[in-house]
Amino acid sequence: MSSELPAAGALPAVSPARVLAGLSLLVPIVAMLWVPSYTKTAPELGGIPFFYWYQLLWVPVSAVFTGAAYLLIRRDEAARRAASTAFALPAQSEGGELS
Amino acid sequence: MKHVDWTALTVFLLFFAVVTVMGFLASRWRRADDAQHLHEWGLGGRSFGTWITWFLLGGDLYTAYTFIAVPAAIYATGAAGFFAVPYTIIAYPLVFLFLPRLWSVSRVHGYVTPADFVRGRYGSRGLSLAVALTGILATMPYVALQLVGIQAVLDTLGVGGSGNWFMKDLPLFLAFGVLAAYTYSSGLRAPALIAFVKDTLIYVVIIVAVIYLPMKLGGYGHIFDTAAQKFSTVNPDTGKPIGSLVVGPAGQWTYATLAFGSALALFMYPHSVTGVLASKSRNTVRRNMAIMPAYSLMLGLLALLGFMAIAAGVGKGVKGYNAQLAVPQLFADMFPSWFTGVAFAAIGIGALVPAAIMSIAAANLFTRNVYKDFLKPDATAADETRVAKIASLLVKVGALAFVLVMDKQAAINLQLLGGLWILQTAVSLVAGLFTRWFHRWALLAGWAVGMVYGTWVAYGISSKATKHFGGNSSQIPVIGKIGYIGLTAFVLNLAVAVVLTLLLRALKAPEGADETSPADYSAEAGDESVERAPQPVVAH
């Protein structure tokens, strides 16, 4: 059985970086599922109805949010690694359960 | 009526020849020492960095059929077909949460397929078999549709399509013979290398198309006005307009559930997982989730070509015009011949890359989760590679037979069903990456309920083109809105899995062994566990 308990000395499962990253990932999903907010033709942009250019605009915007989540998680993971090697010395590596 | 555009055909064949040579040379590219091992042939040695993975995944997920079908849907109905854009926007943030965990655990334990993980996590060959067979079943019609994509291009070029059945499909035989040969010899390295050419061509064609075509068609304003006019025509059968520029109130649930369900299903497909597992590190996977939207942008622009086809008068006044031909026809009508050749090469090669990866993924599933688990448990690594190579040929022959013997509509129906089916593996796979709470038998029961419910509801939908399986949305029980059947089936699947897990736990049913440990799910390249365990623990 593997409940996802953090190893001794590791950071707690919920950290500010993880929460922020989660929110960054949630924003584009919510924006796109909220169809009533964008299913209209006006205002047009260069002749393209709102419905189309708004969703196209969200493509790069979603990439920015996902990129932010990546940077946050990378920092968080580095901190976790540092914490677990500092506190749980060699004997407590991932071994043992592999076979 | 057929006339062959020789300039376009020559350019098309030239590109085709180039990628064929690349496909065969690919076996020497980044070659590793243990060429006999399945992860060499089937996962490119798990060595691909950020950019190769980006090209590979882009080449893999955005298929030729997508390039034909998305604008075709827009051409036929307007806004409803645009759900492909929110779908690919939602997909990457969604999978960002669990794909890195799948990469890590697969890397530590040497899993090659998603079903490998399910077996290791739940200690259940039955559940693993269900996931593997669903994957193979969902992938086969998808490979067949890539052939449909090539066929559309060849038709428009004026080759094939006449004479007896053999002459008619000869170009298709040749294209797939070549594809089968280099996939067999080079494995995943072939599509990875060819993806560079495919994606570059696609980007060039789309950028040129969205700038050049509106200039020739009187601007975007005029294009959308013409489209609005077409969509306001009333369909005599239903008494409603044939399409719309925005999604009406009745269609909003459909739009959102299709986008969400498809996004969740995308990385359940075996060929997507293959692309992810072939990358060399956990952070390579994450970085790609942030840069993949470049392809979604291209897909969105491509979708607009459906409107341009309307404005250009493609298929106007032709009764029962095949919307699938709208974009190839638009290119042929509007571009100079040589550039039509480039555009068609982009679509043609765009079919070869995913077809290769899909057949490799299906072959991996068969080899690991049917052959090795059930038929020959003591198979060596070399046996696995040999069987996978042969299986990849069979998958392609099967797809070819499919297209030739059954009609195209059957392939389209089955591909729609494939998305619904593959979504039913999501509970086992995604939940399993975070918790071992679910009971393996409950997951199997949930999967079965989802599959049966979804197929049964889809069977009851008829459309003008087909009596059964004529659509992907239906009324959602309880909520009462029209929504994506696959997602409804998924929710039902999840509910069954939760209830039965509670029951089975109360009865203390045997849970099966879990060979993974919590640390495996966050392992990164360079970690001790990764360095130590490149091979599957089921030793040979």
Q: Is the pLDDT of residue A88 over 60?
A: no
Higher confidence at residue B404 or residue B85?
A: B85
Q: Each residue of B355-369: pLDDT tens digit?
A: 989 999 999 999 999
- Report the percentage of chain B scoring pLDDT > 90: 38
Selection from B150, B152, B158 nearest residue B10 by Cα: B158
Sign of the torsion formed by the C-alpha atoms of B19, B22, B26 and B29: negative
- Quickly state the pLDDT bin for A87 (edges 50, 70, 90): low
Higher confidence at residue B398 or residue B363?
A: B363
A65 close to A10: Cβ distance less than 8 angstroms: no
Nearest chain B Cα to A77, which residue?
A: B522
Q: What angle do CA B91, B96, B97 make, to 5 degrees?
A: 115
Higher confidence at residue A26 or residue B77?
A: A26
B238 inside 8 A of chain A by CB: no
Contact A62 B516 (CB under 8 A): no
- What per-residue confidence (pLDDT) applies to A3? 45
Burial class (CB in 10 A: 0-12, 13-18, 19+), B215: exposed
User: Which tokens in the block code for residue B157?
Assistant: 């070029």
The interface residues of chain B toward chain A in range 53-112, judged by CB-CB distance below 8 A, are 79, 82, 85-86, 88-90, 92-94, 96-97, 108
| ipTM exceeding cut-off 0.95 for this assembly | no
- What per-residue confidence (pLDDT) applies to B432? 93
- What per-residue confidence (pLDDT) applies to B538? 35
Q: Which helix (H) or strand (E) holds B204?
A: helix B189-216
- Quickly state the pLDDT bin for A52 (edges 50, 70, 90): very high
Contact B89 A28 (CB under 8 A): yes
- What per-residue confidence (pLDDT) applies to B448? 96
Residue B241, classed as helix, strand or coil, is strand
B37 CB-near residues (< 8 Å, 6+ apart): B381, B382, B384, B385, B535
- What per-residue confidence (pLDDT) applies to B163? 58
Selected for mutation to probe chain B from A18, A39, A75 (highest B CB count within 10 Å) is: A39
Q: Token pair 């005599």 is at which residue?
A: B236
Judged by average pLDDT, the poorest of A48-52, B82-86, B292-296, B461-465 is B461-465
Q: Is the pLDDT of residue B409 over 80?
A: no
B475 close to B482: Cβ distance less than 8 angstroms: yes
Sign of the torsion formed by the C-alpha atoms of B221, B223, B226 and B227: negative
B523 inside 8 A of chain A by CB: yes
B500 close to B75: Cβ distance less than 8 angstroms: no
Q: Is the pLDDT of residue B189 over 60?
A: yes
- What per-residue confidence (pLDDT) applies to A4? 47
Sign of the torsion formed by the C-alpha atoms of B205, B211, B213 and B216: negative
Q: Each residue of B322-362: pLDDT tens digit?
A: 888 888 889 989 999 899 999 989 988 888 889 989 999 99
Quick one: three-class SS letters along B135-185?
HHHHHHHHHHHHHHHHHHHHHHHCCCCCCCHHHHHHHHHHHHHHHHHHHHH
- What per-residue confidence (pLDDT) applies to B118? 95
B368 close to B113: Cβ distance less than 8 angstroms: yes
- What per-residue confidence (pLDDT) applies to A10? 58
B457 close to B482: Cβ distance less than 8 angstroms: no
- For chain B, the helix, strand and coil percentages under 3-state DSSP, each to the nearest 5: 75, 0, 25
User: Which of chain A's residues have a Cβ under 8 Å away from the Cβ of B296?
Assistant: 59
Of A32, A36, A39, nearest to B90 by CB-CB distance is A32
- Highest mean pLDDT range out of A3-7, B18-22, B453-457? B453-457
B32 CB-near residues (< 8 Å, 6+ apart): B40, B45, B47
Q: Is the pLDDT of residue B55 over 70?
A: yes
User: Which of chain A's residues have a Cβ under 8 Å away from the Cβ of B220?
Assistant: 46-48
User: Which of chain B's residues have a Cβ under 8 Å away from the Cβ of A44?
Assistant: 221
- Quickly state the pLDDT bin for B76 (edges 50, 70, 90): confident
Contact A94 B96 (CB under 8 A): no
The interface residues of chain B toward chain A in range 335-394, judged by CB-CB distance below 8 A, are none
- Highest mean pLDDT range out of B195-204, B306-315, B420-429, B472-481? B420-429
Q: Is the pLDDT of residue A91 over 50?
A: no
The arithmetic mean of pLDDT across residues B246-259, rounded, is 89
Rounded to whole angstroms, the Cα distance separating B388 from B41 reads 9
Q: Which helix (H) or strand (E) holds A23?
A: helix A16-33
- Quickly state the pLDDT bin for B539 (edges 50, 70, 90): very low
What's the number of CA atoms in the CB half-sphere (13 Å) around residue B167? 5
Rounded to whole angstroms, the Cα distance separating B448 from B473 reads 20
The interface residues of chain A toward chain B in range 30-59, judged by CB-CB distance below 8 A, are 32-33, 35-36, 39-41, 44, 46-49, 51-52, 55-56, 58-59
Q: Is the pLDDT of residue A95 over 50?
A: no
Q: Is the pLDDT of residue B540 over 60?
A: no
Q: Each residue of B126-156: pLDDT tens digit?
A: 999 999 999 999 998 888 888 888 887 887 8
- Quickly state the pLDDT bin for B412 (edges 50, 70, 90): confident
Judged by average pLDDT, the poorest of A29-43, B152-166, B264-278, B307-321 is B152-166
The interface residues of chain B toward chain A in range 109-148, judged by CB-CB distance below 8 A, are none
Quote the minimal CA–CA distance from B517 to chain A in Å: 6
Of A7, A63, A80, nearest to B293 by CB-CB distance is A63
Residue B316, classed as helix, strand or coil, is coil
> Amino acid identity, residue B528?
E
The arithmetic mean of pLDDT across residues A30-54, rounded, is 91
β-bridge mates for residue B234, sequence order? B241
- The backbone torsions φ and ψ at residue B474, rounded to the nearest 5 degrees and listed phi first, read -160, 170
Q: Is the pLDDT of residue A53 over 60?
A: yes
A70 inside 8 A of chain B by CB: yes
The arithmetic mean of pLDDT across residues B96-118, rounded, is 93
**Bond before B86 cis per omega within 30 degrees:** no
Q: Is the pLDDT of residue B5 over 50?
A: yes
Q: Where are the alpha helices (DSSP H) in B312-439?
A: 326-334, 337-365, 381-405, 408-423, 426, 432-434
> Amino acid identity, residue B444?
L
The radius of gyration computed from the CA coordinates of chain B, to the nearest angstrom, equals 23
Contact A56 B517 (CB under 8 A): no
Q: Is the pLDDT of residue B84 over 80?
A: yes
- Quickly state the pLDDT bin for B161 (edges 50, 70, 90): low
